[in-house]
Structure 1
Amino acid sequence: MSTTTTVPPRSAGPTGARIPRGYAVLVGVLAVGAAIGIGHLVAGLVSPSSSPYLAVGDTVIRYAPQPVTEFAKTAFGTSDKAVLLSVMGVILLAVAAAAGLLSRRSRSPGVRVVVVLGVLGLLAVATAPVFSPLDVLAPLASMAAGVGAFRLLHNLALSLDDPPAASGAAAGVSRRALLIGASAAVGAVSIGAGIGGQVLGRGVADSRRAVTASLARLRPARPAPAIPPGAAFPQLGTPTFLTAPADFYRIDVALRLPRLLADDWSMRIHGMVDNELTLRFQDLLDRPLVERTITMTCVSNPVGGDLISTANFIGVDLRDLLLQAGVRPGADQLLSTSTDGFTVGTPMSVLLEEGRGALLAIGMNGEALPQEHGFPVRMVVPGLYGYVSATKWVTDMEATTFAARSSYWVDRGWAEQGPIKTEARIDAPRSSASVPGGRVTLAGIAWSQPRGISKVEVRVDGGAWQEAQLAADVSGDTWRMWRADVDLAPGRHTAQARATDAAGNTQTETVADTVPDGATGWPGTTFSVT
């Protein structure tokens, strides 16, 4: 007589089979990953501004309280966007894992979580500053992919046997098969998204190469004067006079770089003008090009900070364009708008000031603008902090008033006017550095665009001020390097610096935060002499 053991059948549902925890997490993570990948791919192919993942990040930036924004810029600098995307990724990973764990018996909880995430992405895309009906395709595709992947993977996971109940075709899908199949599917999505992004990226690269070739052929009608020898002291620790594009500071609110080609670019100058202008990129190339050496400064730069860079910008004189448009009396603001909806308000009086040198720039250091610095066209205005002057990827300019229209950063508590303040920075010795005893060289930079620097003074341990040696002067629109030699005994010392501009204004000792119109105070460095 034999004994037969009967294995009860596994059935889906709340009282049936349960997916093992590890595989439940895998189901959730892979489903959300598929949603993100498909959404990003469709956005890249149809409307780059509609990627749900990046749209949510943009929404966080747009509505984050001002103190949070300033903390992120101070703590993470130019890595703030990467940090935000990383934090979002960690949060999504946790939510995806939780969705899988909640769905060990039934797929309903996980599907609901994926739908909620999809709705959030759809809302972020629909409420973006720049939106068109076509933009809904990416978040809808993302939601459909996430729900479909979750349902498929959940069904596969419920068919697992632990141990297998039978052999042959009815035994169900092995865990190894699930892992291989799901990983292959998500891998295919990731590769597809990457290929789509690379294709679009090559389009921008090709457009940049064509613009660089045009600039080399045309050459500026008014080139920038050559940088004189001795304009910088890099051997002493200061920057080189011109900043390489890769080292040029970048502060903006764009999580994704706009993929705008030069041939597709156009810009309208309208509002309180007599003659509306619509410009194409070729229209800029057909005008006399000018090259100007300009130091740009971010209003978020703390005392002694590094959010400042210098380049030779090539472009069209913006004042000439505004005069051609015929700005009407009473228009005290030019509201410029980026292709992603970001707005900047610039005082019209500055733009129309003869000799100020505001540019609609298309080139930087002899090449087309880098994509991250505004390709194909950006604004550059000497003497104003970037938040009121330096619109990247600019596609619209409206002559208006400060009373009628408010710009992005002004809405967040920054001042309407942003003239650059007289400042100095100590680059060497660095704080906490150890230097040989005897004669110690202090070195740094100073700036006060467009006035220029006439004097820099240093003092050590609160002693008397000593005038520093200035490097060759390039123009009032650029920074100026300085150095000072001091005799110091062994021990710990603190050095300070202050600058005086060409109008006789000396940098204030009063300490002020960056908000609302730029930081003030004397920079200092504490170091040891051995």
Structure 2
Amino acid sequence: MHRRTTQDRSGAAAWPWAALSGVLSGVLSGGLTLGVGSLLAAFLVRSSDPVLGVGQEFIARTPEWLKEWAIRQFGQSDKAVLLGSLYATLALLFVVLGLLARQHLRLALVGVAVLGAAAVGATLNRPDATALSWLPSVVGTVAGAAALVLCTRVSRRRASAAASGPLSRRSVVLGGVAAVAAGSAGAGAAVTASRSVAQARSRIDLPAPASPAAPLPAGIDTVDGVTPYVTSAKDFYRVDTALSVPQVDVSTWSLRIHGMVEREVTVTFDDLLGEDLVERWMTMTCVSNEVGGNLVGNARWLGVPLTRLLERAGVQPDADMLLSRSVDGFTVSTPVADATDGRASMIAVGMNSEPLTDVHGFPARMIVPGLYGYVSACKWITEIEVTRFDRQTAYWTDRGWAEQAPIKTAVRIDVPAPFAKVRSGATVPVAGVAWAQTRGISQVEVSVDSGPWRTAELLPSVGENTWVQWTVGLDDLEPGNHTLRARATDGTGQVQTETVAKPIPDGSSGWPSKLFTIV
């Protein structure tokens, strides 16, 4: 009886260690798998990182409704949320494998191999995959499997406290695996950082534009709470499919124009800087922008007119589409007619007097004003194929979005804030921004509680390709809750539609509204 009790107590005491050692073995194995994979990917191509490869494959296969939901819920943090969720999921899977390995090591190794095979498939499926894109996933999987075997076997041979001492062989092995895992991940991050565009940008001296942008007019940014007329690079919205921002080597970058042209044209970054550059103010809008949303920004762009490069190539008369490609394989389809009708289309190299940042397309991107970004704004551009819509498709049009996507007239209410409380008897300031790129804004009106429309004052604007700030004061409202609506009229006299539409397939529509209270 006494012996059984002792054994029971021994088993009960051993159980927590068995579970803890299994969890630790799984975490260390997973850390080494991801760390080694990340380190090798940093020396090859960034998209061959196992986690990034799986994440990009998830993005590519995500239903449109889920993508739109993620953008609405998390905004520009959607990729950080996805990466965090992916790492958490992988950590949980490796914990399960670590626990499984305590009793069924071979079965756990099969699980590691399955995860590795999934990563290999994802990285090889990337448009920018190379002949060695499989290597980081394979080597990382082998390293992780070896770590799982080693940690599991060592933990099974737990020595007594008296025999092992304060620093047992088990501690040394597990600590060594942890150090290698952390070192691999840290080294990968360091190599990636050393290849970032920050140093390249600091050495670039953008030439003065041969055709500078119009100066900012007096009278802008005079209303408290209204979105600034100029959007800084750090505040400019970012919506793209790149889970990891491409770090492009400007010394080897080039833009190739080919397809239905008389002659193929290839230009380097230095070639672009050697051109007579133009500078223009342009507001850009994402098609995912909801009514009243903030996925819109205005900046001063510097670049080479797109028409100049296309004329140099000689576009064939029956071509109607420009299929631009990013360095990571993302594609954008742009109507030739819109890109060449005289609007300020360009291959941009600068933004607000600075070289493009990495998140906004360094070293060069395409911009065609008046079109939503998914059919006009190819970042990290490296290729333009002149073709036809009946021969080629692009990333988003393959997923149900419209081929033709001119930006719709839109207005946003910045002031008052949602559910604001305003003192009775005081004038209620109402203000915001409105845009209708290439057409301009001729009028903004507001209505309270479905009452008569009141015309707002339009502040000065650079031109029809940018948004305009507007303001109006309301001083005759009774105490209580009120609903404010706004609508804009474009430069052609067309009033913004009241019809509500979701972003897919060609942009949202409807009148924005705000609730506020007079107290």
TM-score range relative to shorter protein: over 0.9
Unaligned runs of 5+ in 1: 1-6, 9-15
- Are the equivalent residues in 2 in contact too, given 1:125–1:131 (CA < 8 A)? yes
Structure 2 counterparts to residues 411-490 of structure 1, below 5 A: 411-437=398-424, 438-487=426-475, 488-490=477-479
Aligned to 2:191: 196
Aligned to 1:392: 379
Aligned to 1:129: 127
Could you tell me how far apart the structure 1 residues matched to 2:318 and 2:512 are? 40
Output the amino acid matched with 1:359. M
Aligned to 1:167: 163
Aligned to 2:11: none
Q: Return the offset for 1:491.
A: 1.5
Could you tell me how far apart the structure 1 residues matched to 2:40 and 2:442 are? 55
Change (3 A) 1:172 1:314: closer
Aligned to 1:151: 149
TM-score normalised by structure 1 residue count: 0.92
Q: Return the offset for 1:191.
A: 2.3
- The percentage of aligned residue pairs carrying the same residue is 43
State the secondary structure of the residue aligned to 2:485: strand
Could you tell me how far apart the structure 1 residues matched to 2:242 and 2:233 are? 18
RMSD: 1.9
Q: Return the offset for 1:247.
A: 0.4
Structure 2 counterparts to residues 139-288 of structure 1, below 5 A: 139-161=137-159, 163-164=160-161, 167=163, 173=168, 176-201=171-196, 204-211=197-204, 214-215=205-206, 218-233=207-222, 235-288=223-276
Could you tell me how far apart the structure 1 residues matched to 2:163 and 2:143 are? 33
CA deviations 1:243-299 (Å, max 9, x no partner) are: 011100000000011110221111110000001101111110111011110000001
Aligned to 1:12: none
Could you tell me how far apart the structure 1 residues matched to 2:384 and 2:453 are? 47
Could you tell me how far apart the structure 1 residues matched to 2:241 and 2:228 are? 27
Q: Return the offset for 1:110.
A: 2.1
Change (3 A) 1:527 1:268: same
Aligned to 1:493: 482
Q: Return the offset for 1:501.
A: 0.6
Could you tell me how far apart the structure 2 residues matched to 1:274 and 1:244 are? 39
CA deviations 1:67-112 (Å, max 9, x no partner) are: 1111111111111111111111121111111101111134212211
- Are the equivalent residues in 1 in contact too, given 2:36–2:181 (CA < 8 A)? no
State the secondary structure of the residue aligned to 1:196: helix
Could you tell me how far apart the structure 2 residues matched to 1:378 and 1:312 are? 14
- Are the equivalent residues in 2 in contact too, given 1:290–1:315 (CA < 8 A)? yes
State the secondary structure of the residue aligned to 1:477: coil
- Are the equivalent residues in 2 in contact too, given 1:277–1:325 (CA < 8 A)? yes
Aligned to 2:10: none
Could you tell me how far apart the structure 2 residues matched to 1:197 and 1:156 are? 34
Output the amino acid matched with 2:163. S
Aligned to 1:60: 58
Could you tell me how far apart the structure 2 residues matched to 1:43 and 1:168 are? 39
Is it true that 1:325 corresponds to 2:321 in the alignment? no
Could you tell me how far apart the structure 1 residues matched to 2:258 and 2:172 are? 62
Could you tell me how far apart the structure 1 residues matched to 2:471 and 2:361 are? 34
Of 88, 111, 126, the residue aligned with 1:113 is 111
Of 59, 66, 75, the residue aligned with 2:73 is 75
Aligned to 1:512: 501
Aligned to 2:364: 377
Could you tell me how far apart the structure 1 residues matched to 2:422 and 2:224 are? 13
Is it true that 1:292 corresponds to 2:280 in the alignment? yes
State the secondary structure of the residue aligned to 2:413: strand
Q: Return the offset for 1:176.
A: 4.2
State the secondary structure of the residue aligned to 1:431: coil
State the secondary structure of the residue aligned to 1:246: coil
Could you tell me how far apart the structure 2 residues matched to 1:63 and 1:105 are? 36
